[in-house]
Amino acid sequence: MRTETTAFATLIDQLSAEHAELLPCTDKLLDLAVEAGAELRETVKKYAAKLETPLDQHIVQEDDVLFPAYARASGGEDLVAQFRAEHRDIIALRNELLALCEGGDSSKLGAVASQFAELLGDHMRREDMMLFPSAREALC
């Protein structure tokens, strides 16, 4: 039990640190989305490495490890379901954003960047403020 508790505490710390690394990216994308110019396109390309595999792995850790354990320990399945649904929306918007940066419809770039950055930023902040403290209490 002690090892499992330590593992969950470490996982929550890791996920929170990853949020801290990604939040400045979402803030920058929101700032640049207003003009949707070349700087936005270049910034998305610069952040692509963080927004692909690391974001996918982060979501897998939450969906497959943290969320099921938290739901079992706390009965918080409804909350977990909401975050999982947002994960699907985040990935869909991320994929659309990256496609637009590789030659898609430039007129949609700013709107998609704004939607993506706002959803991802709000999602991570809610996890940090609500879900992670509650998961820590239930699991650690």
Residue 1 pLDDT: 55
Quote the pTM value.
0.93
> What number of other Cβ atoms are within 10 A of residue 27's Cβ?
12
Q: What class does CATH assign to 2-139? A: mainly alpha
Q: Using alpha carbons, select from 27, 31, 51 the residue that is nearest to residue 100.
A: 51
User: What pLDDT is attached to residue 102?
Assistant: 86
Closest CA to 123 of 89, 77, 92: 89
Q: pLDDT per residue over 44-61, tens digit each?
A: 999 999 999 999 999 999
1-18 pLDDT, tens digit each: 567 789 999 999 999 999
Burial grade of 132 (CB within 10 A; 0-12, 13-18, 19 or more): buried
Tell which residue, 95, 74, 80, 89, has the closest CA to residue 127: 80
Q: How confident is the model at residue 21 (pLDDT cuts 50, 70, 90)?
A: very high
> Mean per-residue pLDDT for 50-79?
95
Give the pLDDT band of residue 37 (cuts 50, 70, 90): confident
The DSSP output letter for 37 is S
- Angle at the Cα of 29 from the Cα atoms of 23 and 34, rounded to 5 degrees: 140
